[in-house]
Structure 1
Amino acid sequence: MFGVVQLGVLAACIVLFLPMGMAGWHLSRNKMLFFSGALFITLAVFVHLTPYFPALIATLSYSSSSSSDVLVSPLFVHKNESCIYLLHEIEYHVDELSSGSFGKSWNWVESSGRGVSECGFQKLDRMDVSDLLNGSWVVVAGDSQARLMVVSLLELVLGVNEMETVKGELFKRHSDYKTMVDEIGMKLDFIWAPYIGNLTDMMREFKEEKSYPDVLVMGAGLWDMLHVTNVSDYLLHLKLLKNLVMHMIPVSSKVENDVEVVSEPVPRQPPHLFWLGMPTLVHSMLNTEEKREKMTNLMLDSYIRGLYSSKLVRQTGGPLLLLDVHSLSRKCGIHCTLDGMHYDGVVYDTIVHIMLNALLIESHQKL
């Protein structure tokens, strides 16, 4: 690609030699001088503006994408997005041990398109996670699936031994849990929000208080499926939730369904937003008759379709990156669950590492 100096030399040559060539075609002196002057001015403006073209392109790209906090270049954003969508390229290894139990592990696999090795995915250790989440406010809201994710995250931040001392507090039935990791200044809030309506209430509180976390993970659906059993109501709440989330993004205005939605200014970077999906349900292993009757695979599929049709998740053009528990739990299989709904720690460890690597990608950081 030409630099500014090369373009300047090229422009000078055109301005010098093109009028001479035109003179050879017997153009009048005035026409030749007029054309030469116009050509010189045009090329001078072009050369002087050339250094600003990349910034202009980047600005336009930023305005068309609300999912990136910092924009380096359109190519870099494209690379980031493609890497983010490879994060779920996971394989599990489940091996039967001599004791009769099963050993489980996971790793990223190479995709058919482009290798995940190009994206630099990595399993983060305690020091890496401490650096990444240093000084952050992390909120995880949802049902028992979200609570199990918090366990995996805290085990990374605190260590397994330290984690044993907080498990009793964390697993109090149907309760919130809040902690402060003083070593790194990380505040972690788990909000018990089993119904989709609980999440919309939470978002209203954030809006009223004008206080937003740095990282927000939320998800609901299992309790709605079991106790409400109304897909249409679930979809309406998802759309409402999306509108509330859009107020967290510091853009002056947006068009939603042909109606302009003006967002309130947010005096900070928008939070990193994630949706915690519902797991694969193993119907025969569900532990109550009510669950086996209502939580069928057909019903689960309808709730998942509702999520996609709401366009809440980034995979369908929305603001939240889906942490696809459904596909990950299916890959791990029936050896990774005891009740057909809650899975072993290896699945939630995977989810946490996917989220952390997404944070690295979106923040343009390297460990």
Structure 2
Amino acid sequence: MLGTVQFGLLAACVVLFVPMGMAGWHLSRNKVLFFSGALFITLAIGVHLTPYFPSVSDFVTSVSSSSSSNSVNVVVDDRDACVSLLHEIDWEVKPKRDFDPLNNNSMNYDKFWSWRRSTSVDSCEFQRLKKHDVMDLLNGSWIMVAGDSQSRIFALSLLTLVLDSKRLETVRESLFKRHSNYHIVVDEIGMKLDFIWAPYTTNLTNVVMDYKQNRVYPDILVMGSGLWHMLHITNASDYGASLLMLKSSLTSLLPITPDFSTDGPVTGSVSVRSPHLFWLAMPTLVNSMLNTPEKKEKMNNLMSGEYERELQSSNMLRQFGGPFQLLDIGSLSWSCGIRCTDDGMHYDGVVYEAGVHIMLNALLIESHQKL
């Protein structure tokens, strides 16, 4: 039995070529027109009767549904593929023109970063967003950054993209007060940012629990921990247990759908079902550059590897089925190298700037937006 597609092609050929053949046999024009009209009427009746023949109707429906499903999968796959390529970044680190060999610190080097040139990365159209683009994207948003000193530097890097240099200097002084919280409102775009000093994962869990009373959540939530735990507790298993507790608190309190998806645009002017969640990973630690004997002893490569494995096994990250999109400061700092840090732990602002742009592009992907 011929399939529907083949039958359609055959019918089209009959309608097209049979009248032409009849004309070639020198039949009268009226006879040719009569035959062509009869074919069209027959095909029209066949199309209308198709729903009454289950086998044909089901076949057509299944083909249509399959095509529609495949097109949706392509969109989702492309989006997921682009998210997986966000950290494909190359660095160029070179001495400055006024390089001082007697003071060989990170300030002696210029650092530049860009997304890797490849067909797959180019197709995602990642962008280093300019100030007006960032302001458009974050218009009306409430952003919360919670964690240790790494998170504090990340918050400053984000504010660098929306504030002028004069105001930024004032912000820098207030933001970097030791072990303190910070709040700012950028009136021009109605954006507010809160930094919460939360160096341990248990502190992050407390931040999440504080939302339980009024059920109001930020649009964007960036969290990160590990450095303080590694230095002061030095127990990877305990760190892993605290990550599981944080994940449990998030899934029970925040309005997250079962597959941890988010709905709606990023801007705070339109409500969203769930915050956009980002996990700020620990940087690459350069043990020989750490500035105290205790740090060199406890924050070694072996311990760093154990903490990294605990993060992966906790299934906190989106790539392992968890709620957090990774901002991999570890890979960014590794790629930038030792010329991008003076103490082996805190890296130059350009590393966190790259992390901010990764987050912004992830927001564009999740929100199905293009600038």
Q: Into which bin does the TM-score normalised by the smaller protein fall?
A: 0.7 to 0.9
Q: Indicate the residue corresponding to 1:74 in structure 2.
A: 73
**Once the two structures are aligned, what percentage of the paired residues are identical?**
53
Q: Residues 266-305 of structure 1 correspond to what in structure 2 (within 5 A)? A: 268-305=272-309
Of 40, 47, 57, the residue aligned with 2:53 is 40
Of 118, 123, 126, the residue aligned with 2:123 is 118
Runs of 4+ in structure 1 displaced over 6 angstroms?
36-39, 48-55
Q: C-alpha distance in 2, partners of 1:146/1:203?
A: 16
Q: Indicate the residue corresponding to 1:225 in structure 2.
A: 230
What is the letter of the counterpart of residue 230 of structure 2? M
Of 351, 354, 370, the residue aligned with 1:366 is 370
Q: Indicate the residue corresponding to 2:328 in structure 1.
A: 324
Q: Residues 22-33 of structure 1 correspond to what in structure 2 (within 5 A)? A: none
Q: Aligned pair 1:156/2:155, yes or no?
A: no
Q: Indicate the residue corresponding to 2:102 in structure 1.
A: none
Q: Is the 8 A contact 1:90 1:108 kept in 2?
A: yes
Of 114, 117, 125, the residue aligned with 1:107 is 114
What is the letter of the counterpart of residue 110 of structure 1? R
Helix, strand or coil for the counterpart of 2:212?
Answer: helix
Q: C-alpha distance in 2, partners of 1:48/1:81?
A: 29
Q: Indicate the residue corresponding to 1:342 in structure 2.
A: 346
Q: Is the 8 A contact 2:50 2:56 kept in 1?
A: no
Q: Is the 8 A contact 2:144 2:218 kept in 1?
A: yes
Q: Indicate the residue corresponding to 1:262 in structure 2.
A: none
RMSD in angstroms over aligned alpha carbons?
2.7
Of 144, 152, 168, the residue aligned with 1:147 is 152
Structure 1 residue 39 displacement after superposition: 6.3
- Out of 171-180 and 239-248, give the one that drifted further: 239-248
Q: Residues 54-203 of structure 1 correspond to what in structure 2 (within 5 A)? A: 57=69, 73-100=72-99, 101-111=108-118, 114-203=119-208
Q: C-alpha distance in 2, partners of 1:246/1:276?
A: 19
Q: Aligned pair 1:351/2:355, yes or no?
A: yes
What is the letter of the counterpart of residue 340 of structure 1? G
Pick the structure with greater CA Rg. Answer: 2
Q: Indicate the residue corresponding to 1:238 in structure 2.
A: 243
Q: Is the 8 A contact 2:51 2:57 kept in 1?
A: no
What is the letter of the counterpart of residue 292 of structure 1? K
Offset from partner CA, 1:195-237 (integer Å, 9 cap, x none): 0110111111123331111111100000000111111111111
Q: C-alpha distance in 2, partners of 1:366/1:83?
A: 13
Q: C-alpha distance in 1, partners of 2:212/2:327?
A: 24
Structure 1 residue 249 displacement after superposition: 4.2
Q: C-alpha distance in 1, partners of 2:87/2:72?
A: 25
Q: Is the 8 A contact 1:126 1:159 kept in 2?
A: no
What is the letter of the counterpart of residue 212 of structure 2? K
Q: Is the 8 A contact 1:221 1:303 kept in 2?
A: yes
State the TM-score, normalizing by the size of structure 1. 0.78
Q: C-alpha distance in 2, partners of 1:352/1:137?
A: 16
Offset from partner CA, 1:87-134 (integer Å, 9 cap, x none): 1111111111221121111101035xx431100001001100000001
Structure 1 residue 85 displacement after superposition: 0.9
Q: Indicate the residue corresponding to 1:309 in structure 2.
A: 313
Q: Indicate the residue corresponding to 1:205 in structure 2.
A: 210
Q: Is the 8 A contact 2:318 2:325 kept in 1?
A: yes
Structure 1 residue 293 displacement after superposition: 1.2
Q: Indicate the residue corresponding to 2:32 in structure 1.
A: none
Helix, strand or coil for the counterpart of 1:238?
Answer: helix
Q: Is the 8 A contact 1:203 1:245 kept in 2?
A: yes
State the TM-score, normalizing by the size of structure 2. 0.78
Helix, strand or coil for the counterpart of 1:178?
Answer: strand
Q: C-alpha distance in 2, partners of 1:283/1:93?
A: 23
What is the letter of the counterpart of residue 80 of structure 1? R
Q: Is the 8 A contact 2:50 2:57 kept in 1?
A: no
Q: C-alpha distance in 2, partners of 1:276/1:233?
A: 19
Aligned residue pairs: how many? Answer: 312
Q: Is the 8 A contact 1:136 1:214 kept in 2?
A: yes
Q: C-alpha distance in 1, partners of 2:316/2:168?
A: 33
What is the letter of the counterpart of residue 272 of structure 1? H
What is the letter of the counterpart of residue 338 of structure 1? D
Structure 1 residue 50 displacement after superposition: 7.0
Structure 1 residue 322 displacement after superposition: 0.9
Going from structure 1 to structure 2, the CA distance change for 1:77 and 1:332 (only over 3 Å counts) comes to same
- Out of 308-317 and 118-127, give the one that drifted further: 308-317
